[in-house]
Amino acid sequence: MKTFIALALAGAASAITHGDIKFMDYLAKHGKGYETIKEFNFRAAIFANKDAELAKINANPENTFTVGHNFTSDMTKKELL
C-alpha cells in the first residue's frame, strides 16, 4: 500500500510513464515496498538503469538468449555483493 501512495505522490509532479508502470509491476511481483518517497525514487532509478541495460542486451541480434528482471533489479551493486 505504501508503494502505491509513494507513486501517487511522486506522480503528482509529473505524468506517470511506461517505466513507472513497469516498476510498479516489478514491485507487485516481488512484494516490495519502500518507507519513503526518497527511497522509492532511488530504487526506481536503479530499476530504470537496469531496464535499459536489459533492453540493450535483448536488442542485440547476435544474442541467442534474452534477459529479464528478477528480485535484485532494484539493488545497488554494493548490495549485491
pLDDT at 56: 98
**pLDDT, tens only, 2-44:** 555 555 555 555 678 888 999 999 999 999 999 999 999 999 9
This prediction has a pTM of 0.80
CATH architecture assigned to 2-80: Orthogonal Bundle (1.10)
Compute how many other C-beta atoms are within 10 angstroms of the C-beta atom of residue 20.
16
Query: Taking the domains of the chain in order of start, what are their residue ranges?
Result: 2-80
Torsion of CA 70, 58, 15, 20, to 10 degrees: 0
Q: With helix as H, strand as E and coil as C, how does the chain read?
A: CHHHHHHHHHHHCCCCCHHHHHHHHHHHHHCCCCCCHHHHHHHHHHHHHHHHHHHHHHHCCCCCCCCCCCCCCCCCHHHHC
